[in-house]
Amino acid sequence: MVSQSSQTRISPEGLVRAPSAVPVDDAVLPFEVAALDLRGRLTRLGPALDDILTKHDYPPAVGKLLGEAIVLTTLLGSSLKFEGRFILQTQTDGPVSFLIVDFKAPDRLRAYARYDAARLVDGQDSGTLLGKGHLAMTIDQGPDMSRYQGLVALDGGSLEDAAHEYFLRSEQIPTRVRLAVGEEWRSSDGGKHRWRAGGMLMQFLPKAPERARQADLHPGDAPEGTLHHTIEEDDAWVEGRSLISTVEDIELIDPDLSGERLLYRLFHERGVRVFSPQPLQAQCSCSRGAVSAMLKSFAPKDRADMVQDDKVVVTCEFCSSVYQFTPHEAGVE
Ligand SMILES: [Zn+2]
């Protein structure tokens, strides 16, 4: 249920208000194009993304890929209706062998990547950086609830491709996803570099389920001479899909273009309703207490092996926080 005050219709006729010209960073903006049975979410990330990527000082290509994974996570995880956790992970054989983004509802994000610097070459796209393996999405709603995990094979394609594959195979909801990550330099800022990102997820959710039939992404390897069965896609979905395909990366990350203006630009002919933005922040959930509890769960020998220069030092892979313990505090006999 969405309260009346939290939604605004932006359309030429029956205009409630003009689209806000004020860009809002670090937020997900849900929207609806009722005339086309489309629902979606638009993410804009500025300081939160910059905070996560800068702490790790990733090479630009790795930062961009992790940024894409973060945007995708916000688009998928922000629909969680309860205090839950959405975790997106990739495990692959490419130069970036592991990515994890942990979204804790309603607004907390943290993430890191593992990569082999020696295998990074200029100009590698996200599919090449990932290589082959899989993408896992886990929804965890707490200790009393069952965990849900969705898996998609990664085969040299981008994270956008993987998301499309997931929605086609697992959810069977016509879905389009756009992800964009860029670096911004502002001369007014002494040329300081900042990461920005944006993304959009759009789904076709008609009341009559038979309207949601989709053409297969891959024609498959049917023997020659087999009659090819063509599925006529619904006109509303064809229109929505073609509109989102016109969105350029620069529009998704432009710090001077508000999310509302971008949605209006895309859907003004049909009318678009926007809901209250959901704010996002970069915040790790690690703590000295949690690290200490983790150390105590290790076997005594493993704990003893961690002592170096008469101390035990643990670095959080998500946020690079360093926790230092004496051997006694770490439970070493
Ligand atoms: Zn941390």
Look at 162-166, 169-173, 303-307 and tell me which has the smallest mean pLDDT.
169-173
Tell how far the Cα of 320 is from the centroid of ligand 1, in angstroms.
6
309-333 residue pLDDT tens? 999 999 999 998 999 999 999 888 7
pLDDT, residue 1, reads 39
The CATH-assigned architecture of domain 24-215+233-282 is 3-Layer(bab) Sandwich (3.55)
Instruction: Give me the percent of the chain exceeding a pLDDT of 90.
Output: 71
Instruction: Give 317 Cα–ligand 1 centroid separation in angstroms.
Output: 7
The count of other CB atoms within 10 Å of the CB of residue 225 is 5
Q: Under a CB-based contact definition with an 8 Å cutoff, are residues 199 and 177 in contact?
A: yes
Q: Count CA atoms within 13 Å of residue 290 on its CB side.
A: 8
Task: Give the Å distances, CA to CA, from 24 to 42, 72, 110, 261, 280.
Answer: 11, 18, 20, 11, 11
> Which H/E stretch holds residue 229?
none
User: Distance from the CA of 106 to the center of ligand 1, in angstroms?
Assistant: 18
Where exactly does CATH 3.55.30.10 map onto the chain?
Answer: 24-215+233-282
Q: Is the pLDDT of residue 70 over 80?
A: yes
Note the pTM of the prediction, 2 decimals: 0.89
Q: How far is the CA of 87 from the centre of ligand 1 (A)?
A: 15
Region 124-129: what's the mean pLDDT? Answer: 95
For residue 16, what pLDDT is reported? 65
What's the CA gap between 284 and 227, in Å, rounded?
Answer: 54
Q: How confident is the model at residue 169 (pLDDT cuts 50, 70, 90)?
A: confident
Ligand 1 center to 263 CA (angstroms): 35
Identify which has the larger pLDDT, 298 or 223: 298
Of 46-60, 138-152, 204-218, 261-275, the range with the lowest mean pLDDT is: 204-218
- Measured in angstroms, how far is the CA atom of residue 101 from the centroid of ligand 1? 12
Give me ligand 1 centre to Cα 42, in Å: 27
Beta strands in 16-116 (DSSP E): 27-33, 38-45, 85-92, 96-104, 108-115
Q: Which amino acid makes up residue 93?
A: D
Closest CA to 112 of 307, 314, 282, 226: 282
Q: Give the CA diameter of the chain.
A: 75
Strand partners, 86: 103, 139
Give me ligand 1 centre to Cα 173, in Å.
Answer: 35
Looking at every residue in the chain, the average pLDDT score rounds to 89
Q: For residue 7, give Cα distances in angstroms to 3, 157, 273, 286, 306.
A: 7, 36, 7, 35, 54
Å from CA of 287 to ligand 1 middle: 7
236-277 pLDDT, tens per residue?
999 999 999 999 999 999 999 999 999 999 999 999 999 999
Nearest to 178 by CA among 168, 163, 167, 166: 163
